[in-house]
Amino acid sequence: MRLPVSRFPTHASTRTGSRALLGHTSRRATLALALLSLVLAGCAATSTETASTQPTPPTPAASPSTPTPTPEPPRLSLLTGLPETAPAPVLIVKLDNTPNAQPHAGLADADLVYVEEVEWGITRLAAVFSSYIPERIGPIRSARISDIDLIAQFGNPAFAFSGAQHKLWPLLEAAPFIDVSANKGGEGYSRDYERRAPYNYFGDGSVLLERADGQASISQDIGFMFGDQAPPGGMPALKVKAEWPYSKMKLVYDPISGLYDVWMDGDPAQSEEDDGGQQAATVVIQYVAQRDSGFGDRGGGSTPLIETVGTGTGLVLRDGRAWPVQWSRPDAQSGTSYTLADGSPMPFKPGQQWILLVNKDRPVKFVQPSASATPLPGASASALPSDP
């Protein structure tokens, strides 16, 4: 603590005037005083001269200072753009995405989530985990042929799913992933009898990853670029709807969190771990070509083959705005790049990423305050201010 400085009044010194002194002395005294002054002046000069002739001591050399080390930038995840200690193995889990699947377990902890169309126009999720592996993930469902190309960009990850149709198994066996499905053993899987089948099959992520015996590939570059700041331009994208024949999703921007709330089939997507539900930092609308894969279900539903290798267009949503992009993936082993109109990479917002694989014949809808807003390429605008 700094103490206050005491302040005292300043008094002038008592002085005897030289003129008064000379008035009371004789001339001899005056001369003596003058002589004394000369002697004192001479002594002062000699002292000054002597001082000036003394050698100046050498200035000691400055000791070398230790440079301050430059701190290294934090390591960032290649899947989320968030800080991480080190890259970790990848576990991909196939999940149901119907209202019966709510609330999802573990989904909020995924690094990224793919939404893909399956039979009868409904959708399933492929959740990618690496930064954190939940102990409860589900409900887990079966694999599809489109998963093979989609997963190949992650190297040789562990892939967990409940099963697959019989004639698809040879293709899955040859695919570049480590099969930790229920078909290979029940370790790590369990039924939750408080839910009805088949929406009650769950997995322990740690156990499922251990079944890969340390062979699952660690997270690697799949083409994402991240940036804290959004690029200039874009258009308002506070509410965006994506639709499949019998499924729909809505992304509602929350200005407080800076994230998109995820809605599925008219209701907020729920989470067992978080009352706030599912949220996305970045949402990619990736328009894809689809065709009949030759596979289907027992009821006669045709499984579409989703083409995620090649090129196409799309939209990227972040911070309440949307930008048109071009996507490109030269082969199944490569990642997917997303570029703006000028050819520069589109920076994703760090956090959980959602990639919606949408048939290119079904452009998403922007729910704008007024219908006068001009939609981006590959999107339509509608005025539905009362729509949540």
pLDDT in tens, 159-181: 999 999 999 999 999 999 999 99
* Tens-place pLDDT, residues 35-74: 345 434 444 444 444 444 455 556 655 566 777 777 778 8
Residue ranges of domains in the chain, CATH in brackets: 74-359 (3.50.90.10)
The pair of structure tokens assigned to 38 is 């000369």
Q: What is the pLDDT of residue 64?
A: 65
Distance, in Å, from the CA atom of 91 to the CA atom of 127, rounded to the nearest integer, reads: 8
CA distance readout (Å), 208 to 41, 190, 193, 304: 100, 12, 21, 28
SS3 315: strand
Single-letter amino acid code for the residue at 131: S
Q: What is the pLDDT of residue 58?
A: 61
Handedness of CA 351, 304, 176, 200 (dihedral sign): positive
SS3 10: coil
Q: Which stretches of the chain drop beneath a pLDDT of 50?
A: 1-36, 38-53, 370-373, 383-388
Residue 3 CB partners (closer than 8 Å, separation 6+): none
Cis peptide before 103 (omega within 30 of 0): yes
Residue 44's CB is within 10 A of a number of other CB atoms, namely 10
Q: What is the pTM of this model?
A: 0.80
Distance, in Å, from the CA atom of 124 to the CA atom of 119, rounded to the nearest integer, reads: 10
